[in-house]
Amino acid sequence: MKIAVLSGKGGTGKTLVSVNLAVAAKEAVYIDCDVEEPNGHLFFEPKPIGSEQIVIKIPVVDEKLCNGCRKCVEFCKFNALAYINNKLIVFDEVCHSCGGCMLFCPEKALAEKEKMIGEVQYGVSENVTVVTGILNIGEASGIPIIKNLLNYAKGEQAITFIDCPPGSACIVMESIKDADYCILVAEPTFF
Partner 1 sequence: MKIAMPVNDKSMESCVGNTFGRTSYFLVYDTETKESIFVDNSAAASQGGAGIKAAQTVVDSQVEALITPQCGENAAKVIQASNIKIYKIINDSIQDNINAFKHGELSLLEKIHGGFHGHGGK
Pick the closest to residue 53 from 187, 127, 148, 126 (CA basis): 148
Residue 152 binds partner 1, judged by CB under 8 A: no
Separation between Cα atoms, residue 51 and residue 149, nearest integer Å: 11
With CB under 6 A as the contact rule, the residue among 21, 55, 69, 158 that binds ligand SF4 is: 69
Q: Are 172 and 36 in contact (CB under 8 A)?
A: no
Identified binder of ligand SF4 from the candidate list 19, 54, 81, 145, rule CB under 6 A = 81
Coil, strand or helix at 153: helix
Q: Single out the residue of 13, 21, 23, 78 in contact with ligand SF4 (rule: CB under 6 A).
A: 78
Q: Give the CB-side neighbour count of residue 183, counting CA atoms within 13 A.
A: 18
- Between 8 and 100, whose beta carbon lies closer to ligand SF4? 100
Interface with partner 1, residue 184, by CB under 8 A: no
Q: Quick check: 80 binds ligand SF4 (CB under 6 A)?
A: yes
Nearest distance, CB of residue 73 and partner 1, angstroms? 7
- Given a contact cutoff of 8 angstroms between Cβ atoms, the answer to whether 35 and 170 are in contact is no
Decide whether 46 or 142 has the Cβ nearer to partner 1.
Answer: 142
80 binds partner 1 (CB under 8 A): yes
- Interaction with partner 1 in 24-43: which residues (CB under 8 A)? none
Instruction: Select 3 or 164, whichever has its Cβ closest to partner 1.
Output: 164
Please report the sign of the dihedral spanned by the C-alpha atoms of residue 121, residue 132, residue 120, residue 156: positive
CA separation for the pair 130, 158 (Å, rounded)? 12
Instruction: State how far the Cα of 125 lies from the Cα of 108, in Å rounded to an integer.
Output: 49
Position among 133, 146, 165, 176 found at the interface with partner 1 (CB under 8 A): 165
13 near ligand SF4 (CB under 6 A) = no
